[in-house]
Amino acid sequence: MSDEFLVKVRRAIGFDGLISIIIGAFILFLPGRSARVVAGMMSAALIAAGLFKLLSIFKKNSANGVTRLGHLITSVIYIVAGLFIFIDMQAAAISLILVVGILTGMAWLIEGIIQLTILSQMGTNKVWSILSAAISVIGGLSLLFSPLLGGVLVWSFFGITLLIIGIFKLIQYFTLKN
Q: What would the pLDDT profile of 62-74 be if each residue is shown by its tens digit?
A: 567 787 888 889 9
Q: What is the pTM of this model?
A: 0.71
Q: Are 102 and 143 in contact (CB under 8 A)?
A: yes
CB-CB contact of 40 with 85 (8 Å): yes
Mean pLDDT across the chain: 89
What does the pLDDT look like over 66-109, one tens digit per residue? Answer: 878 888 899 999 999 999 999 999 999 999 889 988 999 999 99
Delimit the domains of the chain by residue range: 3-175
- Return the half-sphere exposure (C-beta side, CA atoms, 13 A cut-off) of residue 93: 16
DSSP labels, 84-115: HHHHTHHHHHHHHHHHHHHHHHHHHHHHHHHH
Task: Please state, in angstroms and rounded to a whole number, the distance separating the CA atoms of residues 84 and 82.
Answer: 5
108-127, pLDDT tens digit by residue? Answer: 999 999 988 888 777 677 88
Q: Please report the pLDDT score of residue 178 as a whole number.
A: 58
